[in-house]
């Protein structure tokens, strides 16, 4: 992203103008070295709910839609279970727009964005939220929560399943999938998420 594009994005007042600034890619941080493509959002920009995750994965980098891989499919199921459609009732985005590709032979596909990478990209997401003016923000995972609270040492366990003003905190679905080698732990996590998503269902309309 050239300096003039950056300036235009940060001065935008319409979301379509903001997203248009990324059509030629972004080189603000080291994630551009992977030849990734900025993955901005999926869903409804007019919706009153914005969900913020961590970063796109391989599937998202391929098709340009956040939460379109296995974790996204689980996320869709979670919200469908409480009567919400992730493509119609909210907008999904991430703290970081480009995929953090894990090194070869690390045993992982992606890694948690580094502090300097988040520092470069989060101002964009924060600007997008400012333009969208959602009534509710869902912090999906620790990276999103720390960015939204401007606190690098935040612990998701303290806020999970709770409201912090207009921010609701939930487990990232990828964390559930990563527990597949421990079926009992995964079952307990799914039960916990189901219980607090029922709480979200019963309370979110008060915030609208």
Confidence class for position 4, pLDDT limits 50, 70, 90:
confident
At residue 98, the pLDDT reads: 85
Q: Which of 93-102, 114-123, 150-159, 192-201 has the highest mean pLDDT?
A: 192-201
At residue 101, the pLDDT reads: 59
Position 34 pLDDT exceeds 80: no
**What are the pLDDT digits (tens) for 76-126?**
999 999 999 999 999 999 999 988 755 555 555 665 788 888 988 999 999
At residue 92, the pLDDT reads: 98
Contact 38, 98 (CB under 8 A): yes
Half-sphere exposure of 34 (CA within 13 A, CB side): 22
Contact 131, 161 (CB under 8 A): no
Q: Share the mean pLDDT of the chain.
A: 91
**Interaxial angle between packed helices 70-80 and 183-203, expressed in degrees from 0 to 180 and rounded to the nearest 10:** 50
At residue 106, the pLDDT reads: 53
Fold of 3-207: Uracil-DNA Glycosylase, subunit E (3.40.470)
**What are the pLDDT digits (tens) for 135-147?**
999 999 999 999 9
Confidence class for position 66, pLDDT limits 50, 70, 90:
very high
Q: Which of 23-37, 40-54, 92-106 has the highest mean pLDDT?
A: 40-54
Q: What percent of the chain has pLDDT over 90?
A: 73
Instruction: For residue 26, give both structure tokens.
Output: 């972004």
Q: What percent of the chain has pLDDT over 70?
A: 91
pTM of the model: 0.94
At residue 110, the pLDDT reads: 65
Position 157 pLDDT exceeds 60: yes
**What secondary structure does DSSP assign to 52-117, as a single string?**
EES---HHHHHHS-TT-SHHHHHHHHHHHTTT--TTTS-EEEESSSS--BPPTTSS-SB-PPPHHH
Mean pLDDT of 181-186: 96
């Amino acid at each position: 992203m050239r300096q003039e594009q950056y300036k235009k994005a940060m001065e935008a007042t319409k979301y379509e103008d903001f997203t248009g600034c990324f059509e030629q890619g972004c080189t603000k941080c080291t994630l551009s070295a992977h030849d990734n493509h900025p993955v901005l959002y999926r869903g409804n920009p007019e919706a009153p709910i914005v969900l913020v995750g961590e970063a796109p994965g391989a599937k998202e980098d391929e098709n340009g839609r956040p939460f379109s891989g296995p974790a996204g499919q689980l996320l869709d199921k979670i919200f469908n279970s409480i009567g919400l459609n992730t493509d119609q009732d909210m907008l999904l985005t991430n703290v970081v727009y480009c995929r953090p590709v894990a090194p070869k032979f690390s045993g992982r596909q992606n890694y948690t964005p580094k502090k300097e990478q988040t520092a470069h990209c989060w101002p964009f997401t924060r600007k997008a939220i400012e333009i969208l003016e959602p009534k509710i923000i869902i912090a999906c995972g620790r990276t999103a929560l720390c960015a939204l609270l401007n606190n690098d040492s935040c612990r998701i366990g303290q806020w999970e399943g709770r409201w912090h003003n207009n921010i609701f905190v939930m487990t990232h679905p990828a964390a559930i999938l990563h527990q597949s080698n421990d079926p009992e732990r995964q079952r307990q996590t799914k039960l916990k998420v189901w219980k607090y998503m029922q709480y979200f269902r019963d309370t979110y309309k008060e915030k609208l």
